[in-house]
Amino acid sequence: MKSFSLTDTIFRKKKVLLIMHYGSLGGAERQGLGLAKFLTEEYQCEVSLLLTFSDELQPDFKQFAKACHIRHIFHTHAPYLVFWKELSYRNLKRLVWSFKYIWAYRKILKPNGFDYIFPFLNFPSKVAFYLYKVLPTVKFTFWHQLGLDVFKPDELFEKYASRAVPAVIANSQTGLDLYKKHYGLDVEKSYILPQYLTMEYLYFDKREIRDKFNIPQDALVFGMVAHYREDKKHELILEAFKKVSENFEDAYLVFVGNRESSGYTRIKYDALEKSIREEGLKSKVRMLSQESIEEVLSCLDVGLLISEIEGMPNAVMEYMLYGLPVIASDHPGCKYLLKESPYLISNSREVLIGKMLELLNSPSERELQGLKNREYIKSFTKESYIRDLSTIINRHL
């Protein structure tokens, strides 16, 4: 007789609904879609996706979603789920509009017979909780606290959902600390579940890729893979790099992200381009948007992630996969990945300059840190993530 593991029991041939904000391929979206691919291929699940804010799909997201076997993508109308603690006619209308919002999705989603709902970020988590309540087949959902997100702890739908949700899962201690600050925290139903490595290593010839992106072959290239969002410290890196490049002619810097992710990212991208021109760095700094991340990683020598806040950053995991030394802000998720690395730093311009100079001056140190990173990241697999998620779900069924 064939024996089944807990993971088999929990996931085999189940129907899963993912909930996300947009069809834009950031870290959370890569995690969700990668999870869909693994569940469909390994456990014959059916995985669909609900987008709360827009049905517009960025080309890279659309391509990745197709490769990850997303069965349906649902979006019908602008999100509305809000009710404040005030006595007014408008507030009563908000209540009615909110019920209509959830009930409209109930009508669409109920025929699919979903077993689980997995949200990514706060508003999707709030939506997930109320769909869990109104869809009779759904057995489990959770609040997924990831990175820097909008909090509305005084809004009554959110306040109730945050306390009544079956479980709270964060990808690092930062997430649980944020949740506790805004909502309080029941330790019996809170978990840290580190992310898995979503990317598979693809080999590209470094010389060919540098030619493609017009990067000098003999340059020592620093790079940051991150969307041009407010919490990412592109400006600080640019300031530090200007100082570093004054003494190292071969130093080079690459930024890569999605300029079209939002109105803000377009503004920030353009502002950075302007700063690069004004500082006379155009020959030493390359800005990229919507390029192959694997290609970019193949032509870097050092990975950077300097930011205000992080959960468990995909960018750092991807640098490690490609055997790069990493300079990163000392957030808990970065510490979890890089352990006792001397290149975990405060967001200080002078400290960043010092660490960049250290790696510029020492090829052997770059090699040592890169090899350590590549070896350690091998343990962050989809299999271990799904196993731990199965254990959490089983506790709350």
Give, rounded to a whole angstrom, the gap between the first and last alpha carbons of the chain. 26
| 341: in domain | yes
Whether residue 305 sits in one domain with residue 243: yes
| 180: in domain | yes
Whether residue 25 sits in one domain with residue 76: yes
Residue 148 pLDDT? 67
Q: What is the dihedral of CA 119, 125, 131, 137, to 10 degrees?
A: 50
Give me the number of domains the chain comprises: 2
From 228, 296, 224, select the one nearest 259 (Cα to Cα): 228
How far is the CA of 341 from the CAs of 113, 300, 365, 372, in angstroms? 47, 19, 12, 10
Range of the domain at 314: 206-379
> Could you give the CA distance from residue 336 to residue 193 in angstroms, rounded to a whole number?
12
Residue 4 pLDDT? 62
Whether residue 386 sits in one domain with residue 330: no
Whether residue 370 sits in one domain with residue 309: yes
Whether residue 100 sits in one domain with residue 246: no
Whether residue 246 sits in one domain with residue 295: yes
Whether residue 244 sits in one domain with residue 289: yes
Whether residue 265 sits in one domain with residue 126: no
Beta strands in 202-282 (DSSP E): 220-225, 251-257
Query: DSSP letters of 72-139?
Result: EEE--S-------S---HHHHHHHHHHHHHHHHHHHHHGGG--SEEEE-SHHHHHHHHHHHHH-TT--
User: What is the helix (H) or strand (E) element at residue 160, kind and residue range?
Assistant: helix 156-164
Return the number of other C-beta atoms located less than 10 Å from residue 6's C-beta.
12
Residue 247 pLDDT? 87
> Could you give the CA distance from residue 370 to residue 323 in angstroms, rounded to a whole number?
4
Whether residue 386 sits in one domain with residue 316: no
Residue 145 pLDDT? 92
| 3: in domain | no
Q: Which tens digits make up the pLDDT trace of 154-163?
A: 999 999 999 9
pTM of the model: 0.85
**pLDDT tens-digit profile, the chain (397 residues):** 344 689 999 999 999 999 999 898 888 898 999 999 999 999 999 999 999 999 999 888 999 999 999 999 999 888 999 999 999 999 999 999 999 999 999 999 999 999 999 999 999 999 999 999 999 999 999 999 986 678 899 999 999 999 999 999 999 888 899 999 999 989 999 999 999 998 889 999 999 999 999 999 999 999 999 989 899 999 999 999 999 999 899 999 999 998 887 788 999 999 999 999 999 999 999 999 989 999 999 999 999 999 998 888 999 999 999 999 999 999 999 999 999 899 999 999 999 999 999 999 999 999 999 999 999 999 999 999 999 999 999 999 9
Residue 1 pLDDT? 39
Whether residue 319 sits in one domain with residue 220: yes
The alpha helices in 215-262, defined as continuous H runs, are 234-247
Please report, for the domain that includes residue 245, its CATH number.
3.40.50.2000
Whether residue 392 sits in one domain with residue 333: no
Whether residue 388 sits in one domain with residue 320: no
